Structure 1
């Protein structure tokens, strides 16, 4: 479920020579005919599929250091290929086969959506009624006044502040039995955005959806899935829980560097958002049902009407489809114009991908035992081979954007799932300028108002509120985490009576205020030259780092930021060297080799490297000047002022394209 998105690299080999062109015309014609034939039929022949897949998996698994992977292709209600590559356990030399068990992670969400739609078919849940009616009395804190519905949960639009705040995984949960009844009252996040309006990949929403199925049906979720889904589909090696008999066939979990990593379980134990384990053999049956109008072996598992909602895009960013009921559409450029629904999933050390092309009743599924994005490469190659693009896309015509028209886009934006991802948008020479740590600076050209394209062709779509003000954007780049949520425009109108417009700290103070990291000390006064306690700075640092939105990460960061700093006391005033050491403990930056900086004042030994690393990276407050020879006075043992804290935190964790070298 923990999504780790990285940019795919596409290697294009071009071979041309006028000397042999005449000799190769017939070969080219044959290859063209073969490609057209495959494209017309799709994957139908087992030998041809294996001839395509075997070298592809060999190459990509080596490239991504994947020990083992399953791969199954279905077409027209039949399994065409089902085989394993590499090792389920490389130490014991156990190969992957069709019966190897993997944790399928968030592919579970499609099963939860299916179960919810079964309850809709049965008349026990209304997709568009307040979901609290189906939660057995459980209440959801909601600041918006707009009720959240099952439809919102299943389309990733419920509006929770912390969509991953209920995602607890770890080895300590294996063998435990933690019910959703016990879990939810302690961990229910608040809804802060109007449901149905903002796409944010949401684990909490699907956990709640599964809870609603449990309450509406009167059957515990794991039992419900066994009786109503797995058994009718003949999925005898699939479970919501880590059953001992299935764990005997489970693939080992590995880090991306190839080292063995521990198996992790869930809290609550039944995880409608991501706890299912399964095999390629069983997943083939599930895909066949999905591609046969909800039927399997003559039995209706779910109505065609409900399945149509699962296969029809419901949420869009401009004209870019993002989600259905349960499924998604990441990497839209890979579809080559086909209607595709897909779902990926991750548990630490296991990853999966399911791809369905409903029009051709074709699908494939793969699971493998590390956290890499090899599945995205396989998906692209599969589509290019069997469903290549048939029409060349017209080059877009760009519109002129005046600075006056660009004003409404300006500002600071924060990703609505991962708060540490912040983006600045400004204007330069007829184009918007987008800047964040993942993409660096990107020039955006306007195709039409609200729709832009960056320098490598990725789209950025903006959304307006009812008054015509920009409220968010969605970015199709695979760099960073933009694919998994919209980014919300932050309110920048806050002013403080004691921060003049001429202050070199004003921008930093405004940024941190907009992100609710640091605000007024009292009334409308920021108290820029006031000091902070170690506890106050720690709280601001945790918010600036942004990872507190992930379940359990705040405690991890509080321990990490204190490492190596003696005599910490939350009520004691904080010095500049302590603040630098805390930031460096989280950032783990190295000094920039080309920036030779030398600390001139006295700092304690445990703080010197941290101070040097931050200053060499440009993470320094405006009143600390670095001389031409690289020397600087950090005033290490002085008390940290609030305005200085704002600058250090904004630069370290903001949107700047600093030369951050980890």
Structure 2
């Protein structure tokens, strides 16, 4: 599902930067022989040792991350090495997690079913990866915003160029609103095309749902029926569904999602994808996901069944979009990672109650599926995977290769503020990226830093536009344009979330000082009116009215600013993505009224100077307050908070 808001993504990024164990060591820059004293790799075929190792990690994580339920399956060479559940599937009934039957909601990991379905139709000759998606769409048409059309290949690599969206419509918590047609949802909530296709990756739930609609309209089968018939049935996935809610026949196997309330776990209502179900509606058991992993690792074959031809599966797993030649990129539907020198193809999923990760290592015929039903499980899978790879596939030592003085002395150009490419441009959703900013700073010794305090990472240049973590294994890279200006930042452990250089008008360092100065000026107005009540009362009527206008504008501006951060920015994720709240609707009157007061202030300012109201100093102060109101109005306009701009 990957509906995590941009501020949450930044938080996840910072948490991940706390240490390499969160995602496992990444690809080596220059491989050196293992030290003689270095611990040798453990034997993965020792299933008893593997089970004990996983038990130890999971039990610690269940306690430390306050996780109510979890499941894991590990496959190797076409066999299930481990499938085990932890904790409770239903705490009220004391029902333990069963890896064979317990249905975990896997959110965006569902996309792998959608992409597999697309590739099945590709090998049947019914879909051309390089054809315009409008060739296959019957009920929805993508506008020709750019000369280049959006292709199926663009959808599968998330390079179609759609903006991000979702406020008010991405999910629902009301099962009575289901089922919802995919085509109707996509037609109603079509995002803007904001960049030419193929230029840059921007993870898109809309793009995946569009691929699911293509599956429907090309195959003639409803999406859920297609996945059941062509993936679940041949892979003997008996405890798997993309239906919402979970069908009655499987309901008793559904794992409940929990959140912590007053120190205890409390059941939370599930969220549903509705018309976006190809992007995240599936609920599956760990053993059934093991079948799916084995099929992909064996190039489409599971037992005597085949869901993809060998060449089709290999095409799907091969690199399809690269940010930088030395960093992981995108395959067709899978995103790449580098773990301890191994190429991993992966996909995760997160919704408000579940976190899931799936990792495949084709060269080792290894697959791992992990899912959690709540708690603080966001970093648990990456932590487990890191220590797993360190134990069974330990990284080789890394050495920083010497670089030229030109590279060393050219690091300043990479410093600056970056924002996630996955963002919104045209709707109210844009404001939710206001605080989502990653700062890169250059040091006096020609290094780059990200984060601060104990979470700070330091990177040294190792080649043109690429840096290696000092004392670690992570890498970051930059993209530059034809003139040499830096445009994008890529972080190896966030390969599905590239960042772009943030223009000054989007930076917090631009807005916070302006908003702070404006707030100060507004406060001086209110304090001045309170202090000079008698003087104001004695003023001529026109001047008294002007003072009262400035006080009203100042008070309203401060209230609107407070409402922006308490009503809009602090909306819960479920509320934000599932409905337009009354509070949000009412709040949106406030910036409009502020603009009206601002226009009145500007007109009064002209009159005040023309008719010599008050002293020159007081007129200057009035003018500054009017300009502060303009700043506030421009802020609301720029961040799409002026009016009801919903997707």
Counterpart check, 1:50 vs 2:51: yes
Q: What do residues 321-351 of structure 1 show as CA deviations (whole Å, max 9, x unaligned)?
A: 1321111235x3xx11112112111222112
Counterpart check, 1:205 vs 2:217: no
Matched position secondary structure for 2:299: coil
Q: In 1, Cα distance between the equivalents of 2:455 and 2:399?
A: 27
Cα contact 2:295–2:302 (8 A) shared by 1: yes
* Displacement of 1:454: 5.8
Q: In 1, Cα distance between the equivalents of 2:355 and 2:505?
A: 43
Q: In 2, Cα distance between the equivalents of 1:11 and 1:427?
A: 22
Say if 1:439 and 1:323 are closer, same or farther in 2 by CA, change over 3 A: farther
- Once the two structures are superposed, the pairs formed by residues 70-89 of structure 1 within 5 Å of their partners are 70-89=71-90
* Displacement of 1:385: 1.5
* Displacement of 1:638: 6.4
Cα contact 2:355–2:371 (8 A) shared by 1: yes
Cα contact 2:407–2:464 (8 A) shared by 1: no
Cα contact 1:254–1:369 (8 A) shared by 2: yes
In the alignment, which residue of structure 2 is the partner of 1:487? 499
Cα contact 2:273–2:281 (8 A) shared by 1: no
Say if 1:540 and 1:252 are closer, same or farther in 2 by CA, change over 3 A: closer
Q: In 2, Cα distance between the equivalents of 1:435 and 1:152?
A: 31
Q: In 1, Cα distance between the equivalents of 2:68 and 2:443?
A: 47
Q: What do residues 577-604 of structure 1 show as CA deviations (whole Å, max 9, x unaligned)?
A: xxxxxxxxxxxxxxxxxxxxxxxxxxxx
Matched position secondary structure for 1:317: coil
* Displacement of 1:505: 8.0
Among 139, 144, 167, the residue aligned to 2:146: 144
Cα contact 1:164–1:551 (8 A) shared by 2: no
Counterpart check, 1:329 vs 2:329: no
Counterpart check, 1:180 vs 2:182: yes
Which has the higher relative contact order, 1 or 2, with Cα contacts under 8 A spaced 6 or more apart? 2
* Displacement of 1:218: 1.2
Q: In 2, Cα distance between the equivalents of 1:403 and 1:493?
A: 30
Among 448, 451, 456, the residue aligned to 2:463: 448
Cα contact 2:41–2:392 (8 A) shared by 1: no
Say if 1:145 and 1:537 are closer, same or farther in 2 by CA, change over 3 A: farther
Unaligned runs of 5+ in 2: 22-34, 424-432, 516-552, 599-620, 640-647
Cα contact 1:284–1:365 (8 A) shared by 2: yes
Q: In 1, Cα distance between the equivalents of 2:414 and 2:123?
A: 43
Q: What do residues 108-136 of structure 1 show as CA deviations (whole Å, max 9, x unaligned)?
A: 11111100000100101100111111111
Q: In 1, Cα distance between the equivalents of 2:298 and 2:125?
A: 23
In the alignment, which residue of structure 2 is the partner of 1:378? 384
Matched position secondary structure for 2:113: helix
* Displacement of 1:261: 3.9
Say if 1:261 and 1:202 are closer, same or farther in 2 by CA, change over 3 A: farther
Q: What do residues 248-280 of structure 1 show as CA deviations (whole Å, max 9, x unaligned)?
A: 211110126653242324343561111011101
Cα contact 1:173–1:264 (8 A) shared by 2: no
Q: In 1, Cα distance between the equivalents of 2:562 and 2:123?
A: 48
- Once the two structures are superposed, the pairs formed by residues 28-39 of structure 1 within 5 Å of their partners are 36=40, 38=42
In the alignment, which residue of structure 2 is the partner of 1:251? 255
Q: In 1, Cα distance between the equivalents of 2:228 and 2:183?
A: 20
Q: In 2, Cα distance between the equivalents of 1:146 and 1:56?
A: 49
Say if 1:102 and 1:75 are closer, same or farther in 2 by CA, change over 3 A: same
In the alignment, which residue of structure 1 is the partner of 2:102? 100
In the alignment, which residue of structure 2 is the partner of 1:68? 69
* Displacement of 1:203: 1.2
Say if 1:132 and 1:445 are closer, same or farther in 2 by CA, change over 3 A: same
Q: In 1, Cα distance between the equivalents of 2:443 and 2:298?
A: 52
Q: In 2, Cα distance between the equivalents of 1:278 and 1:337?
A: 30
Say if 1:131 and 1:121 are closer, same or farther in 2 by CA, change over 3 A: same
Cα contact 1:401–1:430 (8 A) shared by 2: no
Q: What do residues 263-315 of structure 1 show as CA deviations (whole Å, max 9, x unaligned)?
A: 32434356111101110121111111111120122222112222113322323
Matched position secondary structure for 2:84: strand
| Further displaced range: 74-83 or 438-447 | 438-447
In the alignment, which residue of structure 1 is the partner of 2:111? 109
Say if 1:441 and 1:296 are closer, same or farther in 2 by CA, change over 3 A: closer
Say if 1:506 and 1:388 are closer, same or farther in 2 by CA, change over 3 A: closer
Q: How many residues align?
A: 534
| Further displaced range: 359-368 or 640-649 | 640-649
Matched position secondary structure for 2:328: strand
Q: In 1, Cα distance between the equivalents of 2:511 and 2:74?
A: 58
* Displacement of 1:446: 2.8
In the alignment, which residue of structure 2 is the partner of 1:520? none
In the alignment, which residue of structure 1 is the partner of 2:327? 320
In the alignment, which residue of structure 1 is the partner of 2:642? none
In the alignment, which residue of structure 1 is the partner of 2:632? 645
In the alignment, which residue of structure 2 is the partner of 1:559? 583
Counterpart check, 1:459 vs 2:475: yes
* Displacement of 1:194: 1.5
Matched position secondary structure for 2:346: strand
Cα contact 2:180–2:274 (8 A) shared by 1: yes
Q: In 2, Cα distance between the equivalents of 1:536 and 1:61?
A: 43
- Once the two structures are superposed, the pairs formed by residues 483-562 of structure 1 within 5 Å of their partners are 484-490=496-502, 553=576, 559=583
- Once the two structures are superposed, the pairs formed by residues 359-508 of structure 1 within 5 Å of their partners are 359-370=363-374, 371-389=377-395, 391-397=396-402, 399-400=404-405, 405=410, 409=414, 412-418=417-423, 419-420=433-434, 421-424=436-439, 429=444, 431=446, 445-453=460-468, 457=472, 458-476=474-492, 484-490=496-502
Q: In 2, Cα distance between the equivalents of 1:119 and 1:559?
A: 46
Say if 1:465 and 1:292 are closer, same or farther in 2 by CA, change over 3 A: same
Cα contact 1:459–1:475 (8 A) shared by 2: yes
Cα contact 1:399–1:445 (8 A) shared by 2: no
Say if 1:437 and 1:127 are closer, same or farther in 2 by CA, change over 3 A: farther
Matched position secondary structure for 2:343: coil
Q: In 2, Cα distance between the equivalents of 1:292 and 1:199?
A: 28
Task: Give RMSD over aligned pairs.
Answer: 4.4
Say if 1:120 and 1:347 are closer, same or farther in 2 by CA, change over 3 A: same
* Displacement of 1:379: 0.9
Unaligned runs of 5+ in 1: 13-27, 495-503, 511-530, 577-633, 653-662
Q: In 1, Cα distance between the equivalents of 2:634 and 2:90?
A: 49
Counterpart check, 1:571 vs 2:576: no
Cα contact 2:20–2:386 (8 A) shared by 1: no
Q: In 2, Cα distance between the equivalents of 1:410 and 1:556?
A: 38
